[in-house]
Structure 1
């Protein structure tokens, strides 16, 4: 999508130019590590203008890359954006530091519901500031789903994906799943009526059996090409992140080729993910890092990011500043009754991670 590639280029150019400028001057700076498509189009420029601090901005496209860099240490970064389910590991490893709340006067803007959800990963809200958030759910091609399953297709239920009869028919138009066992396996467990954060190896055998039964009808597992394939009409169903589907929908509308894409949060409940601003434990410039975090907590700063990325922000006072079409979209800002059914994913013990990884390998290979 043009918007994403433009923002990627902006991030890379900003990082390169800022790095050169920083090396050539004594201008104060802050080094930020974020997802490649995850900031407003003018936020970095505006922050430098308003604060006098030069943002040196680098991007990543995989949570695993971020986690490895953080656990290795000495990254040189001040602020990174970390997903909620890796927070416990980062906290335990001493990779991030407690936040000096006295330096974050904009914290009261945050949505208390999201802060409470985040306690599952950051128990006392000491280390992380919620930034953007969303859900895992179903992205689908309206017309192809209707053609395969009829007018009563269960597009608002996990049955659309997990019932073999449905998936067998949809396999003809393409089905994709995130290549993310830490997210897909809990969803399968939840569908089976088991705890999504189960620590029982036997539960993972049941989830594996369910997914192996469906494996012949799954076109691919991939976390990067679902957006373009949905927007182009190359697949008709995907289990993916909400932001991916909303961007695909927008791209399809801009292309004007008649591809209609929609997103649903299944009525049975789904994972809620929160991407957070955290301060690196060995940050060379912690004061500048806190200034950057506090800047992103300003409602008028974070609202344009939501409009640009089509992903909800955690700032309750920014909601009124978000474009009406975005804030009124229940797939982006779910109503309270849907929020109540969303669950937070939690990291598992090494033993369970091995079980899950082995099960995922079997599922992908079909054995």
Structure 2
């Protein structure tokens, strides 16, 4: 009996001394909601033996707050290039990538990589995942019934109070993110989307307050269901979210139509990057997960599922035809000419923007 107890104790000591990854290989992922093909996550585990713990967030503010606090416990995060990724990178929040563990980096589009390098010099910390624009998710039939003269291709549909007042009857959802909304409002007002001028910010606040009575709810993640279910006929949303809403509405067969509109004034172009937190507990598993995602067939499956374009050109031939030929998913070059990107904003200006946003949400 004593010998058996001694043997058990020795085994327990040996297991405790073994690295955690020898007992269980795991990668902890923190990503946007509805932003991956779940079957690809299952396939990764089947092929590598690495289990995926998957959490989701619905705003850049949530992600940044979690990483800024430290000890997040995550191995992979997916921040947007500006302003979140660049700010966190400057703060030392990310581990440099090891190219030797990422042979599939060669699959990425060099032109897009050069654009991303504006936020990540040398592409040291981030790997391009998906990209898209910010614009309007609309139910055209319901909007035309209430506001037949409203411009369906313009931000005025939302930001002009005379249109918003009438459309409010069928529901307006506003994205809950100052970082995403304010640059577009600046663009609509004819200002630089990166402006930090106090006078420009006052104009933004006036424009937002003018439509505040007509906003039904603030939600980033909820825009998909609000549009697809008919609770909202207009939403300021990410392109793929509005397109997903249209797919779900068709599948439900309840007569709801949803389309995505990139505003003629110009839509904000963004890039989401896969990054490894500096204190990631499983950096080898992080690299394995990123390298897996960069395979053309994997990225094609993800684009098919979430309706966002990706950074791997070879995947395009594998994307479903109705997705690959949808100009809302893959905008033609002429449309992209009107897109704009944003840069980092100084901390003082960011605080000022957040105060404007708080007053806008509160309605006072």
TM-score range, shorter chain: 0.7 to 0.9
Q: For residue 293 of structure 1, what is the aligned residue in structure 2?
A: 290
Counterpart-to-counterpart distance in 1, 2:207 and 2:58: 29
2:84 is the counterpart of 1:112: no
Which of 244, 259, 262 is matched with 2:259 structurally? 262
Identify if the C-alpha distance between structure 1 residues 296 and 359 changes in structure 2 by more than 3 Å, giving closer, same or farther: same
Counterpart-to-counterpart distance in 1, 2:214 and 2:53: 45
Q: For residue 241 of structure 2, what is the aligned residue in structure 1?
A: 244
Identify if the C-alpha distance between structure 1 residues 285 and 174 changes in structure 2 by more than 3 Å, giving closer, same or farther: closer
Counterpart-to-counterpart distance in 2, 1:65 and 1:229: 21
CA RMSD in angstroms, aligned pairs only: 2.1
Q: Deviations over 1:3-62 (max 9, x none)?
A: xxxxxxxxxxxxxxxxxxx97962433332222322222222222332333333333333
Aligned positions of 1:139-288 closer than 5 A: 139-150=137-148, 153-288=150-285
Residues 59 and 220 in structure 2, CA contact (< 8 A), matched pair in contact too: no
Residues 59 and 177 in structure 2, CA contact (< 8 A), matched pair in contact too: no
Query: Which deviates further from its counterpart, 357-366 or 125-134?
Result: 357-366
Instruction: Please give the secondary structure, in 2, of the residue aligned with 1:64.
Output: helix
Q: For residue 305 of structure 1, what is the aligned residue in structure 2?
A: 302
Query: Which deviates further from its counterpart, 188-197 or 353-362?
Result: 353-362
Counterpart-to-counterpart distance in 2, 1:324 and 1:248: 19
Q: CA deviation at 1:292?
A: 1.4
Q: CA deviation at 1:136?
A: 0.7
Identify if the C-alpha distance between structure 1 residues 231 and 56 changes in structure 2 by more than 3 Å, giving closer, same or farther: closer
Q: TM-score, normalised by structure 2?
A: 0.88
Counterpart-to-counterpart distance in 1, 2:39 and 2:273: 20
Identify if the C-alpha distance between structure 1 residues 131 and 165 changes in structure 2 by more than 3 Å, giving closer, same or farther: same
Q: For residue 341 of structure 1, what is the aligned residue in structure 2?
A: 338
Identify if the C-alpha distance between structure 1 residues 73 and 216 changes in structure 2 by more than 3 Å, giving closer, same or farther: closer
Q: For residue 6 of structure 1, what is the aligned residue in structure 2?
A: none
Q: For residue 132 of structure 1, what is the aligned residue in structure 2?
A: 130
Instruction: Please give the secondary structure, in 2, of the residue aligned with 1:91.
Output: helix
Q: Deviations over 1:224-271 (max 9, x none)?
A: 332222112222211111122112111211111111111110121111
Give the greater-gyration-radius structure (CA).
2
Instruction: Please give the secondary structure, in 1, of the residue aligned with 2:173.
Output: strand
Counterpart-to-counterpart distance in 2, 1:174 and 1:270: 22
Give 5+ residue unaligned stretches, structure 2.
1-18
Residues 120 and 344 in structure 1, CA contact (< 8 A), matched pair in contact too: no
The count of aligned residue pairs is: 345
Q: CA deviation at 1:153?
A: 4.1
2:60 is the counterpart of 1:63: yes
Q: For residue 11 of structure 2, what is the aligned residue in structure 1?
A: none
Aligned positions of 1:86-125 closer than 5 A: 86-125=84-123
